Amino acid sequence: MSLSTIGGLIMAWGCLIGAVLLDGGEMRAFVALSPAVLVFGGTFGAVMTGMTVEGIKSIPSRFAFVFMQKKIDLNATIATLCEMAVRSRRDGILTLEDDIEKITDPFMKKGFQMCVDGVDTDKLAEVMESEYATLKEGYKEGEEFFKQLGGFSPTLGIIGTVLGLIHMLANLENAESMGPAIAMAFIATMYGVSVANLVYLPLANKSKTLAQQELLLKRIIIQALIGIQSGVSPRLLEQSLQCYVHQHERKESEKVAKKA
């Protein structure tokens, strides 16, 4: 469960509702069915049009990805990989075979399986880079999905407002009904802009942030695989893997290392 995603959304919407209540407004005044149908339905329709059937089926997993953030501990992964490097160097690469069963990440599993199978280093690097590129592509599609939602949503809000204004202007009967009619028309804009800026676009950013973390982990794994197979010294391997971790996060890793 991603604390920052949930917390950020609560803060953003809390501030919006708080601002309305502080002004003496009632939330009820901002609830309307027809703008909701247009903005939410229209946006999903527009985004769906650009996707394949498989893409549409993967929408729930896009939301799960940003809300159910996996815990990624780069330092722990580096420690595990370096330990495997030590063992591989001392007892031979085949002794890693037992560890492969325990690996849950399919990317890392495939890599070590190929190592143990004796695939040569160039081919190993090539295959793992292809896997990396495919993963990256998949993450980019996820970010793109939320970005498209965030892009179409405000324009559908504007369409709703223009429709409402045309409807009102074409049926001017008395000046008194004008105010509420314009208010109604603006609700569509409010829905479109709010949901884009307080849900879709922040989730697109989250999707990008999480993907960068995952890809960094994969990059470290590729680097380690190549190092292990070419028999680099574990100490040098650790030095080169730690380069991928930000300096201030790395310090803690060194403390951990000292305890070990």
Q: Which of residues 13-42 bind a second copy (CB under 8 A)?
A: 13-16, 18-20, 22-23, 25, 29-30, 33-35, 37-38, 40-42
Gap between the Cα atoms of 168 and 139, Å rounded: 44
Q: Which of residues 75-134 bind a second copy (CB under 8 A)?
A: 106, 114, 119, 123, 126-127, 130-131, 133-134
Question: Of 99 and 131, which has the nearer Cβ to a second copy?
Answer: 131
172 binds a second copy (CB under 8 A): yes
Question: Of 184 and 228, which has the nearer Cβ to a second copy?
Answer: 184
Q: Provide the phi-psi class of 233: left if phi over 0, else alpha when psi is between -120 and 50, else beta.
A: beta
- Residue environment code for 68-105, b if the CB has 16+ CB neighbours within 10 A, otherwise e: ebeeeebbebbbebbebbbbbeeeebeebeebeeebee
- The amino acid at 88: S
170 binds a second copy (CB under 8 A): yes
Among 116, 158, 215, 257, binds a second copy (CB under 8 A): 158
Q: Binding segment for a second copy among 76-84, 85-93, 96-104, 164-172 (CB under 8 A)? A: 164-172
DSSP character at residue 68: S
Among 102, 246, 258, 259, binds a second copy (CB under 8 A): 246
Token output for 68: 């159910």
Each residue 181-200 as x (binds a second copy by CB under 8 A) or -, in order, gives: -xxx-xx-xx--xx-xxx--
Instruction: Tell me the angle at which helices 121-170 and 42-49 cross, rounded to the nearest 10 degrees.
Output: 140
User: Do 232 and 90 form a contact (C-beta atoms < 8 A)?
Assistant: no
Among 55, 89, 109, 136, binds a second copy (CB under 8 A): 55
Q: Binding segment for a second copy among 77-85, 86-94, 95-103, 171-179 (CB under 8 A)? A: 171-179
Token output for 17: 């509702």
Output the smallest distance, CB 93 to a second copy, in A.
Answer: 18
Q: Residues in the chain, how many?
A: 260
- The amino acid at 106: P
Among 73, 91, 97, 249, binds a second copy (CB under 8 A): 249
